[in-house]
Amino acid sequence: MKQQILTLAIESSCDETSAAVVRNGREVLSNIISSQIDVHKVFGGVVPEIASRHHLDNINQVVDQALLESGMTLDDMDMIGVTYGPGLVGALLIGLSTAKAFSLAKGIPLVGVHHLQGHISANYIEHPDLEPPFLALIVSGGHTSLVDVSGYNEMKVIGGTRDDAAGEAFDKVARVLGLGYPGGPLIDRLAKEGNKDAVPFKRVYLEKGSRDFSFSGTKTGVLNYINSEKQAGREINKADVAASFQQAVMEVIVGKAVEAARDLGRDKIVLAGGVAANSCLREMLTEACHEQGLKLYCPSLLLCTDNAAMIGCAAYYRYQEGLVDDLTLDAVPGLPLGSV
Amino acid sequence: MQLLTIETTGASASVALSDQEGNLTLEISSDRMNHLQNLMTMIQSVLEKRSLQIGDVTAIAVSEGPGSFTGIRIGVSAARALAQALSLPVIPVPTLQSFVYQEPSGENFIVSPLFDARRSQVYAGAYRLANPDEREELASDGGILPVVEGKAWDVREYLARLAEEADREVRFYGDGTGAYEKEIMECIETLAGRGIRGSIAKPEHRFQRADSVGMLGMERMIAGKMVNYGQVKPVYMRKAEAERKLEEACQK
Ligand SMILES: [Zn+2]
């Protein structure tokens, strides 16, 4: 039996082109992330065609750099892990086409990974002691989900967003406040100077017992508030609006996550996704978990963003259970989680 | 010497494996627009038919565009990654020019591929294979003579230009022959007025294919037009729509 399994992982589902080399699932030898945020800023959001073009421009160089930094070559790799959904189809296919060509050229297994399974796995890299079962809270630009994780490859989505993801609502509010793009970090920064109780924006819990999220009502509330203040000729305190909006959104997310963990008898909550970098969310969740006697796991800021190391980790655990794909693997933009 | 050629810029993908002894194995997908799913198994299949391994390939030719943006990216990314993994040179092949090898005796007529780019636009160009006596000096470009420059054109503007420049029989190719059939028939009439024959290629020759891309690739390879995987660039011939809109807005 081989002493170590080396994975070359590739991620290109949205606007970061990333490649990583991971040893035995949890040890990151390199993790190169080429971000396109600056490219898309002028458009106020990710433009799919432009994202695809940039992924293609960058991908081979990103792979070369990941190999170089790991001190390994492509010949040392035992398997290829790659995100095949969900995401922008034109973006996904660059990583997938590249990964499949490597798999064919080197005769090594190809393992397709669900992007959110990757986000959850970022925590295995960060916390050597972490093992399933646990409740995962995924908050990112495109997702707000509660996932019951009972095994490395067994998971069930128990709550999701019914309209906008939290990240989308942040982008919209940031745009209206004239803060720019992406909205999450900008609102988070401004909110630190504001009063979170200044404006009582609506908390949307949906019907009793529901674990789903809806942020469009809260978002609309903010837009209406800004309009009516403008019409009344009153100056808006942007920091107060940002702090109050963020508080309204996070209170619901944290409340539902903690309740779900308690109901399911899980004693650990694992935070994942790009918005996991949000300081308000981290603080509120830390406090709530402490109160309820739950253990909280958060990835470092680098591992919160889209990166290939988390895909390499997830791919390793899929490979361990024989979940290998063939060369016809297709990009699935709306891939559901838990479809192992 | 084994040249692997990838063509994914049109509606059906194709892969060819050829050598200098004239052996050619071609695989054409029957699925339309399913290149990402099919490409690798098509490559495996041409290798199997010749009892070869991927390690036996010595160079990779790829159809660089124009064509479907997504298709171009699938082909270019696959060619690049194969070359990166196998340390092979790549020969980027201009898709429009590959049509000179679509049918034999290419020096006797002008090929005019038109790819539909929507809203009365086409990616088009007209070319002819040089005669043996013209060839010597043009050898470095696969012996291809441009008649009308290949780029994104307004379809009527392109056809008017072609009708002016053509000095011998013209044959039309590409998916633009369906989308702009009426305009092309008018052009054929204009040509007839000048005593020049014009026609739309038979369906089996009409669309881009890896064997003709590979033939031009072979010419270019012999001429030393090989590059490193990092230098293979897609040829879109058009900016992304969001970029164009932004530029327009800035100019106002
Ligand atoms: Zn993500």
Across A230-259, average pLDDT: 95
Model confidence pLDDT, tens digit, residues A249-267: 999 999 999 999 999 999 9
Euclidean distance between CA atoms A289 and A299, whole angstroms: 16
Q: Which domain holds residue B27?
A: 2-95+208-242
Same domain, B66 and B190: no
* Overall number of domains in chain B: 2
B39 interaction partners in chain A (CB closer than 8 Å): 97, 100
Distances (CA, A) of B11 to A152, B4, B41: 40, 20, 17
Do B91 and B109 lie in one domain? The reply is: no
Q: How far apart are CA A223 and CA A221, in angstroms?
A: 5
B65 falls within a domain: yes
Examine residue A32 and state whether it is found in any structural domain, yes or no: yes
**Residue A128 maps to a domain:** no
Indicate if A284 and A169 belong to the same structural domain.
yes
Domain interval for residue A263: 133-299
One domain, residues A152 and A84: no
Residue B167 CB-density burial (10 A; 0-12 exposed, 13-18 middle, 19+ buried): exposed
SS3 B129: strand
Residues B29 and B82 in one domain: yes
- Residue B248 maps to a domain: no
Q: Is residue B40 part of a domain?
A: yes
DSSP conformation letters of B79-108: HHHHHHHHT--EEEE-TTGGGGGSSS-GGG
Q: How far away, in angstroms, is A274 Cα from ligand 1 center?
A: 6
In a domain, B250, yes or no: no
User: Do both A26 and A168 map to the same domain?
Assistant: no
Residues A281 and A235 in one domain: yes
Question: Min CA distance, A239 vs chain B (Å)?
Answer: 31
| Chain A residues near residue B78 by CB distance under 8 angstroms | 97-98, 100-101
Pair A169, A309 in one domain: no
- Report the gap between the CA of B135 and the closest CA in chain A (Å): 35
In a domain, A1, yes or no: no
Q: Which chain A residues contact residue B74 at CB under 8 A?
A: 93, 97
pLDDT-derived band of residue B134, with 50, 70 and 90 as boundaries? Answer: confident
* Shared domain check, A254 and A266: yes
- Residues A294 and A309 both lie in one domain: no
Q: pLDDT band for position A37 (50/70/90)?
A: confident
Contact residues, chain A, for B69 at CB < 8 Å: 49, 52, 90
Q: Are residues A181 and A289 in the same domain?
A: yes
Which residues in chain A are closer than 8 Å to B240, comparing Cβ atoms? 47, 49-50, 53
Give the CATH number of the domain where residue A318 resides.
Answer: 3.30.420.40
- DSSP assignment letter at A86: S
Per-residue confidence band for A110, with pLDDT thresholds at 50, 70 and 90: very high
Find the CB nearest B81 among A61, A93, A102. Answer: A102
Residues A23 and A88 in one domain: yes
Pairing of strands B24-28, B14-18: antiparallel
Domain with B131 in it: what CATH number?
3.30.420.40
For helices A89-106 and A48-70, what crossing angle results, to 10°? Answer: 40
Share the mean pLDDT of chain A.
Answer: 94
What are the pLDDT digits (tens) for A180-216?
888 899 999 999 999 999 999 999 999 988 999 999 9
Q: Check whether residue B106 and residue B196 sit in a common domain.
A: yes
Q: Are residues B186 and B201 in the same domain?
A: yes
Distance from CA of A222 to the nearest CA of B (A): 29
Whether B88 and B115 share a structural domain: no
Q: pLDDT tens across A120-158, in order? A: 999 999 999 999 999 999 998 888 999 999 999 999 999
Residue among A50, A56, A329 minimizing CB distance to B73: A56
Residues A116-128 as b/e (b if ≥16 CB within 10 A, e otherwise) read bbbbbbbbbbbbe
Query: Which of B39, B85, B241 faces A105 most closely, judged by CB atoms?
Result: B85
Interface test with A, best of B34, B35, B69, B84 (most A CBs within 10 A): B84
User: A10 and A103, same structural domain?
Assistant: yes
Residues B197 and B216 in one domain: no
- Same domain? For A88 and A193 the reply is no
Q: Is residue B51 part of a domain?
A: yes
Q: Give yes or no: residues B73 and B155 share one domain.
A: no
Residue B62 lies in a domain: yes
Residue among B36, B85, B240 minimizing CB distance to A330: B36
**Residue A255 Cα to ligand 1 middle (Å):** 23
Q: Does B165 share its domain with B112?
A: yes
Cβ-proximal residues to B117 (8 Å cutoff; 6+ apart), any chain: B66, B123, B152, B238
Q: For residue B59, is it within any domain?
A: yes
Q: Judging by DSSP bridges, how do beta strands A268-272 and A154-159 pair with one another?
A: unpaired
A-chain residue closest to B88, CA distance = A105
Asked if B60 and B91 touch (Cβ cutoff 8 Å), the reply is: yes
Residues B88 and B139 both lie in one domain: no
Q: How many folded domains does chain A comprise?
A: 2
Mean pLDDT of all residues belonging to chain B: 94
Q: Give the ipTM.
A: 0.96
**Is there a single domain that holds both residue A265 and residue A186?**
yes
